[in-house]
């Protein structure tokens, strides 16, 4: 059961790190596209479908709407599963905020409001990285 939580979490962390690096680079070239361009024309690049989907999910978090409705639910599900596996509680438990801790709790709390501007800037990579650091020790 634990690998069902850890494997997607690792994939999300890898994709998030790639996304964070991509935010420093020009917006028109993703790290994946740069790697493909660097490969010779004879090289066949196969991308696992799950990684493509994870990349799309992370790219969607560049807007508030994408973060709240696409990536946040995955982080909520991962956190809820981690709480159940390691502590026997879920996110609705009164002890959940203490167990989850900041900055992760502010991102996964059940009463998180809808974004005011769905097209506005999404989650900052450093905020997401700090939350994922907290998730790894949860």
Rounded Cα–Cα distance for residues 27 and 42 (Å): 27
Question: Cβ neighbours of residue 2 under 8 Å, at least 6 residues apart?
Answer: 85
118, pLDDT greater than 80: yes
Tokens of 103: 């900055």
Q: State how far Cα 7 lies from the chain centre.
A: 13
Tokens of 31: 């790290």
pTM for this entry: 0.65
pLDDT of residue 16: 58
For residue range 30-83, what is the model confidence (pLDDT) as tens digits?
676 676 666 656 667 787 888 888 888 888 889 999 999 999 999 999 999 999
Rounded Cα–Cα distance for residues 42 and 58 (Å): 29
pLDDT of residue 51: 83
Confidence grade of residue 25 (pLDDT, cut at 50, 70, 90): very low
Rounded Cα–Cα distance for residues 68 and 83 (Å): 21
User: Do you find a cis peptide bond into 103, omega within 30 degrees of 0?
Assistant: yes
pLDDT of residue 28: 63
């Amino acid at each position: 059961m634990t690998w069902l939580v850890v494997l997607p979490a690792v994939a999300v962390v890898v994709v998030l790190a790639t996304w964070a690096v991509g935010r420093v680079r020009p917006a028109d070239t993703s790290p994946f596209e740069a790697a493909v361009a660097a490969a010779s024309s004879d090289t066949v690049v196969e991308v696992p479908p799950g990684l493509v989907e994870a990349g799309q999910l992370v790219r969607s978090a560049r807007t508030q709407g994408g973060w709240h409705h696409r990536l946040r639910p995955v982080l909520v599900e991962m956190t809820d599963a981690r709480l159940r596996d390691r502590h026997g509680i879920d996110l609705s438990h009164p002890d959940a905020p203490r167990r989850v801790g900041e900055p992760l709790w502010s991102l996964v709390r059940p009463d998180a409001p809808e974004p005011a501007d769905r097209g506005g800037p999404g989650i900052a990579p450093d905020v997401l990285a700090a939350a994922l650091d907290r998730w790894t020790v949860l």
